[in-house]
Amino acid sequence: MAKRKELVPMIPWLYDLLLWTFSILVDLFFREVHPRGSWKVPRRGPVIFVAAPHANQFVDPLILMRVIRTEAHRRAAFLIAEKSMRRRFIGRMARAVGAVPVGRALDSTKAATGKIYLPSPTEDPSLIRGVGTKFESEAQPGGLLVLPTVNGTAANAEILEIHGNEEIKLKKVFKGDVALRQLTGKPSEEDGTENGDVDLVQGFQGISYKVAPKVDQSLVYDAVFERLQAGGCVGIFPEGGSHDRTELLPLKGGSLNEMAKL
């Protein structure tokens, strides 16, 4: 019986060559990289490496790959944002080391028609209404509604149901005072009001928004399960992005929850 082709193949000799090459850069920037507890890493069998805090999307996996290879004599394939795989150089290098591309809904946002608002923030904050919107053709259950960016952050919420072109039911409500102000027209200087006290401003016409599609991650899970079932290693950064803070960002639980089903 012919051996089935891997969904995301790893080229061992190229993996080692690239790791050795880029390790030279690590040695130039860091005087010493000394891992603690590396003896705990199993020398065989499936392993999931969960890494955080995630300071740099390229340096972090490189250092982890190096430590895993030198200390445990193993190779690990990391999950990587699909948009990074579209970059010519990075994409080629990532494919060579068996990286698994992960599509993210927020990487595929597009401007939508009309404006949206929150008609009843207190009684039903999961109900969104639109003015001149086309929810039935532009949005989909499982997709996201994305508000304009404020201070580098764009609030978003998952769509549960679409009730015509001008009404949506959310799976989880928008969080934070900024999002509530955007959806109710409340002046930004009123910072002290609790979420439950926010009401829709009379005459507010809504706010522009974007939509993001529902992302099918079945191929990602298949590739990860295949690697683990073959006794390989997989690395993930569950914060969903890099940052320079000392504390952890809220973890993206989707990947962890699916892997827990193994």
What integer is the mean pLDDT of 81-99? 86
Q: Cα separation of 58 and 61, whole Å?
A: 6
Give the CATH number of the domain where residue 175 resides.
2.40.30
* Structural domain includes residue 75: yes
- Shared domain for 205 and 238, answered yes or no, is no
pLDDT in tens, 168-184: 999 989 988 899 899 98
> Hunting for tokens 């827990």 — which residue is that?
260
pLDDT in tens, 59-74: 888 888 898 998 899 9
What integer is the mean pLDDT of 218-226? 88
Identify the domain containing residue 198 by its residue range: 108-212
**191: confidence class by pLDDT, cuts 50, 70, 90:** very low
**1: confidence class by pLDDT, cuts 50, 70, 90:** very low
- Shared domain for 18 and 96, answered yes or no, is yes
Q: What's the pLDDT at 192?
A: 47
User: First and final CA of the chain: distance in angstroms?
Assistant: 26
Q: How much is the CA Rg of the chain, to the nearest whole Å?
A: 22
- Shared domain for 202 and 253, answered yes or no, is no
Task: Kindly state the percentage of the chain with pLDDT values over 70.
Answer: 82
Q: Name the phi and psi angles at 221, rounded to 5.
A: -65, -40
* Structural domain includes residue 4: no
- Shared domain for 201 and 227, answered yes or no, is no
Q: Cα separation of 149 and 145, whole Å?
A: 12
Q: Cα separation of 247 and 191, whole Å?
A: 25
Q: Cα separation of 229 and 71, whole Å?
A: 22
* Structural domain includes residue 5: no
Lowest mean pLDDT among 69-73, 85-89, 132-136, 249-253: 249-253
* Structural domain includes residue 251: yes
Does position 254 have pLDDT exceeding 60, yes or no? no
Q: Name the phi and psi angles at 174, rounded to 5.
A: -65, 140
Q: What's the pLDDT at 190?
A: 47
41 in Cβ contact with 68 (< 8 Å): yes
Q: Which amino acid is at 107?
A: D
What integer is the mean pLDDT of 204-220? 89
What integer is the mean pLDDT of 39-62? 83
Number of independent structural domains in the chain? 2
- Shared domain for 121 and 203, answered yes or no, is yes
